[in-house]
Structure formats: C-alpha cells, structure tokens
Amino acid sequence: MNPKSKLPHLGTTIFTLMSELAAEHGAINLSQGFPDFDCSPDLVHLVSLAMKQGLNHYSPMSGIAELREEISRKQYEIHQANYHPSTEVTVTAGGSEALFSAIAAVVHPGDEVIVFEPAYDLYRPAIELFGGVVRAVRLMAPDFRIDWNEVRSLISHKTRLIVLNNPNNPATVVLDEDDFKELIQIVRNSEIMILSDEVYEHIVFDGRQHFSVSRFPELKERSFLVASFGKLYHITGWKVGYCLAPEILTKEFRKVHQFNVFCVNTPVQYGLAEFLKRKEEYLALPSLFQQKRDFFMDGLAQSGFKAIKPQGSYFLLADYSEISGLNEFDFSKWLTIKHKVAVIPVSAFYANPPEQKLVRFCFAKKEETLEKALEILVKLK
C-alpha cells in the first residue's frame, strides 16, 4: 500500500524519540515533560472508590456534571470568569484532545492561524491536517517577547485563529497584562478566534500572576481555553483535561469531541470532581516547582550551561555553546547516549529553527533525580 500521506513531512514526536532513546540507553530522562514522583494517594483512592462503586461506564459526552461544576467554580474563583457547566465546559481526553478538537472544529481549508514559535509540537500538524495555513511569529531567546506589530502585519481576512500558550512550553515565559491589551486591540471588531493553551496555568514563579484569557471579556467571548489535569495533579498518564468556551463555540467544539472520543474515563472524572474541591493541592504548585527550578538553576550555575530563568512551566532552557559546537539535535542525542541525561532540542519547536544552541530540561523531578543529573552536567564544562 502507498497511502497518500496527509502529513508527508511529519515524523514521530520529539518527546517519543527522546524518551525512547533515554530508556534504551538508561539515561536520566529530563526530556519529555512529566513528573517522576507520584500523585496524591488520596486521588488514587477516590478513583478506585468510583471504580468499586461500579462507575465504569460511559459518562455523559461533555463529562460528568459534578466535574463540570467544580471546573466552572474554580475558574470563577481564580479568574472571576463565568462558564456555564452544562453548555460551556467540556471534559476532554487531556489538553491534547481539547486542542485538536478545537482546531478541527473551526479551521477551514485555506484559513490562516497565527502561531508563536517556539511552539508546542501539536499545533502545526493539527492545523495543517484540516487545511489551515500556519503564519508563524518567531520569538527569540532569551526573553521570547512578542512583537505585536509583527502580529498585526500578519492579520488578514483569512486569519481565523490565534494560538496562545501561556505559560509557554518551551519558552518558559508568561504573558503580562500589556500583552493582553495589545491582543484585545488586534482582535477587536474581527471574527478572529483564540485558542489559549493554559495547561501550565498554576506553574508560575517569583510571585507572578497568570493572566488567563478568561479574565478579559473581549477575549473570553472568542476563546477556547484549554487546561489539563495532567499538569495540575501529576497524572500525565491519565489524560484528562477540559475546554472552556462560550456556548456558541462549545457547540462547535462538541460536534468534533463527540466523534473524536465521545467521552472521557468515568471513574477518573468522579475522583477529580471530589479532589478539585481541595484548593490547597493546586495552590501549592508554584512553590513546589519554584523550589525545583531554583535547585536546578543553582546546580547548573556550576556547569558550562547558561540557563534562562523560567518564569513559568516546569521546563528550563539552557545554552550549551560553551560545551559543544554540535547542533541541538545531535547534542541532545550525544548527551543522552554518551552522558546519560536526556533533553529536548529546542529546534524541534520551530518550523525553521534559528541559529542557536539551546536544549530544554524538564525539572519536574525528585530532588535526587535532579541531583544525579547535575552531577553529570557539571562535569561537562
């Protein structure tokens, strides 16, 4: 067979490649983003309780009411944003499914979508699969600030969607209020929609505030907001997230969601609905991850890597030009195979990578894991 590929230039994701390489070579895996510590045993207990109670069949297509209500309450408490649980909240198979279904629901062939690069790897292939055209705005290290005039220059009658990722993976920056003022001006009186990937919403450092699109009525009315329980509760393998959007957008979103997955793992939803009432769990995230960030930054300061201080997310970018002249992909492979620390080349997040020597470390790890990795990394000077 010779299928006519819809994504002829696409290979396997960099996260899969690097995690496989790490496993094959017994390397400490700081590549793919997931914690190496367990989630709360109480959450596991709540989910097993639901399983034992026989809550093992299909949930409603949009998610169980209890969970949608808790999500809606949380969004109101934190951002004073109202989303009606029955018509504006949809529980999804992770942030990924929410992003994919939103793109599938609104991107028509020939539509243009503005994406900021470095960009999370899912956006571009999903947009292209539905015939959309990516107009990339390239952000540059170390500050990765958005030039809003460049964004303005890319807007046309074909612009359907702007994709935001805040806090940003892999750039680790957090948008400020001025960024949102610019965005509001740009989309005002237009039909442009926004897809706001906020999966790292609670992981912001140094007392920063996370501004959600849902905070700004002029943005909220045109936005799909995507969140993930994987990041919130250290359960990346459970693949549960959600999409918040005004009713008119949710209607379109659910047309795709219902045939993409129909519904999501029922007992996990019951467990999460109960666990979500404990605010202290997610309110502890900034300090939990800031400690890890600082520990890892302090360690790297003794090495040849030049770290860029993360404002948010659980990733850290570092320049390795003092250590090696290899390109980012070859350096990442060399570090994994020869020195047993796996990382992600930042070039994987650009369609046309700039000339730079940056790798991404995931520091969502136990202190002992970070310590072992640092022991190796400081010797590379």
The helix/strand/coil state of 80 is coil
Question: How many CA within 13 A on the CB side of residue 161?
Answer: 30
Binding mask 118-157 for ligand PMP (x = CB under 6 A): --x-------------------------------------
Laid out side by side, the sheet with 344-345 consists of: 306-308, 315-319, 358-362, 344-345
Restricted to residues 93-112, the positions that interact with ligand PMP (CB under 6 A) are 94-96
Restricted to residues 164-223, the positions that interact with ligand GLN (CB under 6 A) are 169
Q: Which does 250 bind (CB under 5 to 8 A by kind): ligand PMP, ligand GLN, none?
A: none
Number of residues located near ligand PMP, criterion CB under 6 A: 14
In this structure, are strands 193-197 and 159-165 parallel, antiparallel, or unpaired?
parallel
Restricted to residues 161-180, the positions that interact with ligand PMP (CB under 6 A) are 165, 169
Restricted to residues 56-95, the positions that interact with ligand PMP (CB under 6 A) are 94-95
Nearest to 120 by CA among 175, 174, 173, 169: 169
Q: Which does 130 bind (CB under 5 to 8 A by kind): ligand PMP, ligand GLN, none?
A: none
Token reading at 185? 């001006």
| Separation of CA 38 from chain center | 20
The neighbour count for residue 205, using CB atoms within 10 Å, is: 19
Whether 113 contacts 122, CB under 8 Å = no
Type of residue found at 123: Y
Give whichever of 235 and 323 is closer to ligand PMP, judged by the CB atom: 235
Shortest reach from residue 163's CB to ligand GLN, in Å: 15
Report the 3 state secondary structure along 214-277: HHCHHHHCCEEEEEEHHHHHCCHHHCCEEEECCHHHHHHHHHHHHHHCCCCCHHHHHHHHHHCC
Q: Which stretch binds ligand PMP (CB under 6 A): 82-90, 134-142, 235-243, 286-294?
A: 235-243
Q: Which does 148 bind (CB under 5 to 8 A by kind): ligand GLN, ligand PMP, none?
A: none
Restricted to residues 7-36, the positions that interact with ligand GLN (CB under 6 A) are 13, 15, 32-33
Give whichever of 35 and 267 is closer to ligand GLN, judged by the CB atom: 35
Task: Name, in order, each residue with C-beta under 8 angstroms of 257's C-beta and a sequence gap of 6 or more.
Answer: 61, 62, 90, 92, 97, 101, 243
Q: Which does 15 bind (CB under 5 to 8 A by kind): ligand PMP, ligand GLN, none?
A: ligand GLN
Number of residues located near ligand GLN, criterion CB under 6 A: 5
d(CA 145, CA 151) in angstroms, rounded, equals: 12
Binding mask 8-47 for ligand PMP (x = CB under 6 A): -------------------------x--------------
Give the nearest residue (CB) to ligand PMP: 94
Binding site for ligand GLN (CB under 6 A): 13, 15, 32-33, 169
Binding site for ligand PMP (CB under 6 A): 33, 94-96, 120, 165, 169, 197, 199, 228, 230, 236, 239, 241
